[in-house]
Structure 1
Amino acid sequence: MMESPVVELLETEYRRVWDRFYDEFTFRPSTSSFKWPAIKEPVASVTWSLAALDDDPEYERLDRLVEVVEQGLKSCMGRSGTLLALDWQHTSYRFAPLGVGGPGQLAWPLSPYPDGDYYIYLSEDFRTGSFGHPWEQSLCLFGQDFLDAASAEVEKLLGQPIRRSGRAIGTA
């Protein structure tokens, strides 16, 4: 059990977690569209373009998207579960989702929305989470329980996905 619901990853653990992420997801950070998607998206995954948020001047859909992702992750983590919040080349965290985001609580670290950097939420076993790609402007959710909890509402907000299980969805 953590003393605080949000704990910064220290250097040794930060490197260990990122090394594992690079290995397990074949992470290839790049601004070049030739190298997208930047991860090997898991079999149980769905990826959406974030372009639908471009015409959201009041941030209502963005706020709802953040809420849906946070609630979906909370529902998958259980009472004592923790998540990793990874910000590429910046401070990253371990946190208890049930201990943040409510009245009188600390805010969630980071956001599922990739605001200029890769933002990643991961369960400790790396099976469930989200991957926000800042240059592709996409959001990938993975883990079947998480998809069951959140994907229908995300699709209402963002439209049809661009990939399922790492495979492009045809427009024809």
Structure 2
Amino acid sequence: MKNWVPLSDEQYRLVWGKFYKDFNFKPSIHSSDWPSYRLPIPFVSFDITEYTDDDIDDLEEKCITNFRAVTESDKYIYALDWQHQSYLYNPHLENGNASGRIGFYPDGDYYFFLNKDFKWGYLGHPWEQSISIFGEELIHQFEMNRPTIFGKIVRSNR
């Protein structure tokens, strides 16, 4: 089994269509338009403007650990890269085909990781330089295992 399975064209259209609708997604590079999406309650958003390479490595490790904690071993979540190939991702499997993967640090594009029913998720905003976590289960996991890159909280409803 692969841990990064490309979405079919139909899956891509359906998942992104649902995301645009449910999150009122309006991508923008202009700060006056941020945040670019409406976050479900509860949520917390972190500033990620200050970091080192070690912080990026720590983010990768902690995201995988946290996603494993909230995902059954045989289940996949959505890994979405705006206007690029998107995937079904299983954090329990080894990074065998890592060349096709999406990183957890939004380095120039929106990177979103969502469970299939959108009850929790991880949203990376490249221009605002923020990461938002929503859904009590995932927020709790990131509170227990917080990446060093997470700076001050920029938005929260908790």
Structure 2 length normalisation: TM-score?
A: 0.91
Match of 2:65 in 1: 71
Which region of structure 1 is more displaced relative to structure 2, 137-146 or 105-114?
Answer: 105-114
Match of 1:37 in 2: 35
- CA drift of 1:145 comes to 1.1
Separation in structure 2 between the aligned mates of residue 23 and residue 123 of structure 1, nearest angstrom: 16
Greater relative contact order (CA < 8 Å, ≥ 6 in sequence): 2
Asked if 1:22 is matched to 2:20, the reply is yes
Match of 1:94 in 2: 88
Tell me the matched-pair count.
Answer: 157
Query: Conserved in 1, the CA contact under 8 Å of 2:46 and 2:155?
Result: yes
- CA drift of 1:156 comes to 4.9
Q: Which structure's residues are more often helix, by fraction?
A: 1
Match of 1:126 in 2: 118
DSSP 3-state at the match of 2:66:
helix
Runs in 1 of length 4+ with deviation above 3 angstroms?
105-108
Give the counterpart of 2:47 among 49, 59, 62: 49
Asked if 1:144 is matched to 2:133, the reply is no
Asked if 1:135 is matched to 2:127, the reply is yes
Separation in structure 2 between the aligned mates of residue 93 and residue 80 of structure 1, nearest angstrom: 15
| Identity rate, percent | 34
Query: Conserved in 2, the CA contact under 8 Å of 1:28 and 1:38?
Result: yes
CA RMSD of aligned residues (A): 1.8
Structure 1 length normalisation: TM-score?
A: 0.84
Separation in structure 2 between the aligned mates of residue 126 and residue 44 of structure 1, nearest angstrom: 13
Which blocks of at least 5 consecutive residues in structure 1 are unaligned?
168-172
Which of structures 1 and 2 has the bigger CA Rg? 1
Structure 1: which amino acid aligns with 2:108?
A: G
Separation in structure 2 between the aligned mates of residue 109 and residue 162 of structure 1, nearest angstrom: 28
Query: Conserved in 2, the CA contact under 8 Å of 1:112 and 1:139?
Result: no
- CA drift of 1:152 comes to 4.6
- CA drift of 1:21 comes to 0.3
Structure 2: which amino acid aligns with 1:88?
A: W
- CA drift of 1:162 comes to 0.8
